Structure 1
Amino acid sequence: MVSERDSDFAVTGLVLAGGRASRMGGQDKGLIAIAGQPMVGHVLARLRPQVRELLINANRNEADYAGFGAPVVADRMPEFPGPLAGMASGLAAATTPWVVTAPCDSPLVPRDLVARLQLALQADAGDLAVVESAGRLQPVFALLPVRLLGDLEAYLAAGERKIDRWFGRHRMAIADFSDCPEAFINVNTPEERDALEHRLHNEESGADRA
């Protein structure tokens, strides 16, 4: 939990881009463009002002991801074992005590994600904090302490993969984002990509007219 000593604790932003993206025909989702920029670029741009440093978890196209100016860390386990493996790699690579995670396919990441996760962590005296929106947990949007790396590695080594089950092993604070559920839209299909592209285009057109 957060103490007075680390009330201004530093955070690393970790973008999770290590999945197979099977519903996108195997395309690397983070590199698919929306509104003129790859999705990972949108996520990085929104996280950058909120954190001390950035990392990208990716298991392919490493050179392309490195072009966004953040170190790339791969899963340390084979066969795309899921987001917990990416989180473990990020915790191992971070030089700050805390890591905030967000997926590469959610380009509308809240600009106050870290601040609200920190507030929830402090209010609930949590070990970690997770977003809740639209009545359900959004477990890939989380604030995690590096000190839990050993526990996470042991959990993965035992063959466990369920992210909510690992969170449940610790005191979990909930950050309520019910006021902005659309911030956690993720793109899993070409149709969802097209719909979000249309929405962003309309928003930009509206801003230009304002």
Structure 2
Amino acid sequence: MTTESDDRKDSDRHATKMAKKKAARDKIMATKSGEKGLIIVHTGAGKGKSSSGFGMILRCIAHGMPCAVVQFIKGAWDTGERRLLTENFGDLCQFHAMGEGFTWETQDRERDIAAARAGWEKAKELIRNPEIRMVLLDEINIALRYDYLDLNEVLEFLRTEKPALTHVVLTGRNAAEGLIEAADLVTEMTLVKHPFRSGVKGQPGVEF
């Protein structure tokens, strides 16, 4: 049975422990003063890559920061994020749906390449604009994986032409090793369990 004295000792120990953690954290934060435009990669087999990217876009909008989205694969889909951004935040967020669906849906490689190239040209235009603070290149990793776009061209552009304070987010499975090496922030979504494997189809509000 614990006493009031024991509870007070536990509380004091906790306060001391947290104070030490805060002091250590404050010391670390004191060394972090710079800002830069980040290259951010969301990849992996797990769900949430695009969702995380759109979460960052909403943060930009909340801060009044102009931003843009280029969708390389899901352009034909009527997605919730597309509706939300185009109908409510078109003044702050440009939305360009350039893809025509997954490659197994179009079954036309030349058409897929043309759509990816058009998406990349639009992406370059948006990234070059220093007024736009974040550009989300949704599912571009798939276009790179299938060689619809040249990886070296993308990396060279990001290295030499991206404005210093512009963030670029690239999503999709199987991110190329070169892209991972060039990125400032990389997150891999790990698949643990997915309802699709149990016969549940993609649903509004969860998948799109």
Normalising by structure 1, what TM-score?
0.30
- Which has the higher Rg, Structure 1 or Structure 2? 2
Higher relative contact order (CA 8 A, sep 6+): 2
Bigger strand share: 1
Higher helix share: 2
